Amino acid sequence: MQLLQPDTKTVPNGLLEDAGIEYSHGPADGRQVRLVLMAPPAARVAADFQDIQCKPSWHEELMGRMQQFRGSVYLQDGAIGRSQLSRDGRHRVAIDPHSWHLLALDGTGNICGCVRYYSHESGTRFQELWVRHSALATSKTWGGAFRRAVEAELQQARRRNVSYVEVGGWAISSERRCTTEAARTALATYSLARVLGGCIGITTATVRHSSSSLLRRIGGSSLRTDAGELPPYYDPQYTCEMEVLRFDSESPAAKYYSLVDRLRSDILNVPVVCRSNPRSPWPYHSYPNRRPPVAQFSPGLYAAQRA
């Protein structure tokens, strides 16, 4: 099965058609898993993206369906209770509207996987991170060590002049777990990071379904302190054992390095659904240490850069 290959035909009676998302490259194949990117408001969107669609209502529709999918997966796993969902079944998180979301769609156009990519400028402080709310951060035993480890990662991001990213909201349909599809969707996060200028990142992952093991195999690793690696911990919010892992967009596992490069090319051709016009587009995805100057979005400049 070819995975994450962009498809260009609107899928009938499915999510893509309902959301008005159109593909413009390549033949349709119901066996493929397709990607769609949702951009946060006023996002810096690289001019290399070939299919940027500014459709606020469709962005809202996709957000709702993604949150419903994530909620159904978490509820089925016993990670959350019904009281943690909205009346229409959404698992809402405050940072969702401010994040990139990578959605995997099956052959019928329904969501079968999702991941959230919450990007921060390199000057961000620990107290501004979402991970500050995690059970490990508030632990009397490990909280201090966790904060010092994250602050060291933030310093590294500043030295390299790249973003610091919190990846989360992982969900994949039960029939697709422990498959190459799950691994490639996770690897596509590395590819997205490269397109967006590179990053150092952090994620919390459940030990359940070997999710954290999968992320380790593709390049994730434990945060380290002077006392050694931070251990797994129990998260009462999701009632399961979790691990906090760090990753570097330039350092996936060696065996997947070429695949990350190939997936980057695929990602540049998937639909990027925006709520508003992107700002400060730049063609620097191949140069993670080169950051563009901050400027207001100019339609003329944007068209010129894409020409």
For residue 247, what is the domain's CATH number?
3.40.630.30
According to the model, what pLDDT value does residue 280 have?
A: 53
According to the model, what pLDDT value does residue 184 have?
A: 81
Residue 241 belongs to a domain? yes
Residue 300 belongs to a domain? no
Residue 7 belongs to a domain? no
pTM for the structure as a whole: 0.80
> Per residue in 215-247, is it b (16+ CB within 10 Å) or e — as a string?
bbebbbebbebeeeebebbebeebebebbbbbb
The number of CA neighbours under 13 Å toward the Cβ of 140 is 0
For the residues of 230-291, what is the DSSP string, one character each?
Answer: PPPEEETTTTEEEEEEEEETT---GGGHHHHHHHHHHHTTS-EEESS--BS--S-TT-TT--
Residue 285 backbone zone (phi > 0: left; psi -120 to 50: alpha; other: beta): alpha
Residue 78 belongs to a domain? yes
Q: Which residues contact 99 (CB under 8 A, 6 or more apart)?
A: 40, 116, 117, 118, 119, 169
According to the model, what pLDDT value does residue 115 have?
A: 95
According to the model, what pLDDT value does residue 288 have?
A: 42
| C-alpha of 215 from chain center | 13
Considering its fold, how many domains does the chain have in total?
Answer: 1
Residue 292 belongs to a domain? no
Residue 90 belongs to a domain? yes
According to the model, what pLDDT value does residue 294 have?
A: 32
Domain, as residue range, for 59: 15-282
Residue 8 belongs to a domain? no
Residue 3 belongs to a domain? no
According to the model, what pLDDT value does residue 42 have?
A: 75
Is residue 267 within 8 A of residue 192, CB to CB? The reply is yes
* SS3 labels along 208-236: HHHHHHHHHHCCCEECEECCEECCCEEEC
Over the chain (307 residues), the average pLDDT of each successive run of 10 is: 32 40 43 85 83 92 96 91 94 96 90 94 91 91 93 95 94 77 85 93 86 90 87 84 93 93 92 81 44 35 34
